[in-house]
Amino acid sequence: MSIAFKPEETFRGDYSYRNSDAAILRFPFPFPEDKYMYSVNIEPHVRSGPSDVFLRPFDVDEHYIAECRDRAITLERDPGRCQVLPHMMLAQWDTLELLMENLSADYPEHFSLVKEGDDFGSRWTWTNRPLGIEQSFIFGDAATLPCEPFEYITRQAQGDFAICDQRDDNLYMDAGMVTSQADWSLEFDVGMSFMEWHGPVPLAHQTGVFERALKYLLMLRLGQPVRRLNWTMTINPRLDTSPESFPEWGTDRASVTPDNAGRKVHLRVELQTLWRLPRSNAILFPIRCYLASLDDLARVPKWGARLHRVLSTLPPQLVEYKGLTRYLPAALEWLARHDDGRELPVGTEAGVSTLG
């Protein structure tokens, strides 16, 4: 599959990030109904779904090169965005193998992996054409890569990654590459348990969402990954909305008006997948982030109208937690123009094949 990359676009400064029409149509819109509330929305990560982003286990799109560059900029300024506790070395190799195998199998034009064997100690050669990388190394020997295996491969992947070690009937966030997060800090969370790092989330603990999700994840099987969608909103197409860089983006929230909301306000959807890793028995948690402006979304009539309804009925605790309070009225005023009140079909599909 050939992808027309947009290597020059930016996620900071002049924010030149834009979605092509095709990228808008495949956007993983997260709202099947007019209301939203937290639930254990986990399903098998099969190669199909209402959007093309589900066709391959690790989706690569037109923003690939630009996203990898944005990650490199963030890491340069703050190397602490990648952290791996020492006992996670097997999980690092598991992650590298999983990503290299899937990317090379699903995108042979862009990536290739040649192995002399499968075991630790074998020579592997990895080619990443979009980023112009060719690397020969010994699988299992970190000294043969320019950096540790987890950092190496996640610098060449879209989306954030966490690895959870499983022990004591719990999950611990013992590794992460986190440069495009929705306002949470790896530095703060690293080493925490499932309930600890989910501590700040409102309402979901009380309804047992996290208790059930954890029990389910502890039994997650090799070969049977699962997925869920999570979402928030971001002003400007910015990937790095971390607490660490808050001074750079926090004040943008005050810049939204009913007139510029279409351009400034972005829906930020995370396609989260969960993978049992084979050697380490850890769980890999890739968080693949998709950004679309209200302008983009309103070109799909169903999505513009539905977003208006979801946001106008969102529980106040979620508005507050997701940081929408300041600009929600302006965004709603803008969206109201795209909602004629007619009944919308259940489901997330765009329902159109070309954009208005």
Partner 1 sequence: MIGDTLLLQVAAVTDIAPGLRHLRLVAADGGKLPPAAAGAHVQFVLEGAARTWRNAYSLVSRPGARDAWEIIVRRVPTSRGGSAFIHEQIKVGDRLVAGWPGNLFAPVRIARHHLMIAGGIGITPFLSYLAEFGFTGAGHALHVCCREGEKDVFGPWLGNSPAVAFHWDADGHRLDIPALLASQPAGTHLYVCGPAAMNDEVMAAAAAAGWPASHVHCEHFGSALSGGDPFRAFLARSGIEVDVAEDESLLDAIERAGVAAPCLCRGGACGVCVTPLLEGEAEHRDHFLSAEERAAGRLIMPCVSRARAGRLVLDL
Binding site for partner 1 (CB under 8 A): 45-47, 57, 87-90, 97-98, 101-102, 118-120, 140, 165-168, 215, 219, 221-225, 278-281
Q: Is 167 a known active-site residue?
A: no
**What is the rounded distance in angstroms from the CA atom of residue 89 to the CA atom of residue 142?**
9
CB of 125 to ligand HEM, least distance (A): 32
Q: How far is the CB of 203 from ligand HEM (least distance, A)?
A: 9
User: Could you say which of ligand HEM, partner 1, none residue 232 binds, taking C-beta under 5 to 8 angstroms by partner kind?
Assistant: ligand HEM
Site for ligand HEM in 110-149 (CB under 6 A): none
Q: Which does 240 bind (CB under 5 to 8 A by kind): ligand HEM, partner 1, none?
A: none
Site string for ligand HEM, 289-328 (x = CB under 6 A): --------------------------------xx------
- From the list 227, 242, 258, 174, the residue with the least C-alpha distance to 56 is 227
DSSP secondary-structure letter at 221?
P
CA atoms within 13 A on the CB side of 310: 24
Taking the C-alpha atoms of residue 30 and residue 231, their distance in angstroms, rounded to an integer, is 7
Q: Which of 123, 228, 263, 326 is catalytic?
A: 228
Q: How far apart are CA 273 and CA 49, in angstroms?
A: 14
C-alpha to C-alpha distance for 260 and 267, rounded to whole angstroms: 15
Q: Do the Cβ atoms of 64 and 158 come closer than 8 Å?
A: yes
| 230 is a contact residue toward ligand HEM (CB under 6 A) | yes
Phi, psi of 266 (to 5 degrees): -120, 140
326 within 8 A of 27, measured Cβ to Cβ: no
Residues composing the chain: 356
Interface with ligand HEM: number of residues (CB under 6 A): 25
Q: Which is nearer to ligand HEM, 135 or 193 (CB)?
A: 193
Q: What are the residues binding ligand HEM (CB under 6 A)? A: 38, 40, 42, 162, 164, 171, 173, 182, 184, 189, 197-198, 200-201, 204, 209, 213, 217, 228, 230, 232, 283, 285, 321-322
Active-site residue list: 228
